[in-house]
Amino acid sequence: MVADIEPIAPVTPVDARDRGREEIFSLSPGQIAGLTGIPGSGLTRVGLSLIAPYAAQGHLAYLDVRGWASPLTAWELGIDPERFIVVRTDDIVTWGRVVGTLLDGMRGVYAEIPHGVKDSALRTLAARARTRRTPLVFRSLAGKLPQGVVHLHLKAREVAWEGTGQGHGALIRRRTLLDASGKATRGMERTIEIEDDGTNHMRVVPNLGTQTSRRFA
């Protein structure tokens, strides 16, 4: 049951030697992550897991442009229902003001970016997040983000599920291949594989290269 979820245990590397990936896959206060990829690629869970550790200190906000956000995922990640606020608005005119206001009082913000938001608005909001030291996750619905805005850019490449067969079983575990870039990767593009079994543990799987994606194709 959702209510029985254990206390939060965010993204955890299975191999302590793989420090590089652990550092990449975390957000410090004031850092911004950007997510691009089609719905179904697992980016909502990835984005929420980046800010989930901050739920222990205060409230998190999810700016839901599509109106489809489900808090079940946040609860599965260990976020207290009382500390998870969903703001539903698809008004592009007020979108920037809403995000800017949320950055002033929330411990973490996950914001979907509607089509048509100007790059300059994103840069302004990113600067505000850095000033307020609020971790911010941008999820672009248009599939692109301007250069230099985010500290960590995660682009979904592939997703593979385990547990289902031809009419039997159930979804158990997902492995998502992400292309990571930005300052967090020191300018180099790296590939990260996330393993997610639906509980509050998401793991960065080590020792995988780009070619491993073929296993799931």
Chain contacts with another protein (rule: CB under 8 A): 1-3, 38-45, 48, 58-59, 66-73, 75-76, 81-82, 84-89, 91, 94, 97-98, 101-102, 104-106, 158-159, 161, 163-171, 174, 196-199, 217
Contact predicate 180/24, CB 8 Å? yes
In angstroms, the CA 156 to CA 52 distance is 20
- CB nearer to another protein: pick between 31 and 41: 41
Distance CA 136, CA 138 (A): 7
* Encoded tokens for 51: 């800010």
Min CB(147)–another protein separation in Å:
25
State in angstroms the smallest separation of the CB of 20 from another protein. Answer: 26
- The Cα–Cα gap between 107 and 57 comes to 7
Which secondary-structure segment (H or E) carries 119? Answer: helix 119-132
What's the min distance (Å) between Cβ of 1 and another protein?
6
Query: In terms of CB distance, is 92 or 146 closer to another protein?
Result: 92
89 vs 172: CA distance, rounded Å:
32
Which residue number, 17 or 168, has a Cβ lying nearer to another protein? 168
Helix axes 92-105, 119-132, angle to 10 degrees: 10
Report which secondary-structure segment, H or E, holds 88: strand 84-88
Q: How far is the CB of 185 from another protein (least distance, A)?
A: 23
Q: Which lies closer to another protein via its Cβ, residue 32 or residue 106?
A: 106
Rounded to the nearest whole angstrom, what is the least distance from the CB of residue 4 to another protein in the complex?
Answer: 9
Based on CB atoms, which residue is closest to another protein, 147 or 211? Answer: 211
Shortest spacing between CB 166 and another protein, in angstroms:
7
125, with CB counted inside 10 A (0-12, 13-18, 19+), is buried
> What burial letters (b/e) apply to 146-155, b meaning 16+ CB within 10 Å?
eeebbbbbbb
Cβ-based nearer residue to another protein, 133 or 183? 133
Residue 92, Cβ neighbours under 10 Å: how many?
A: 15
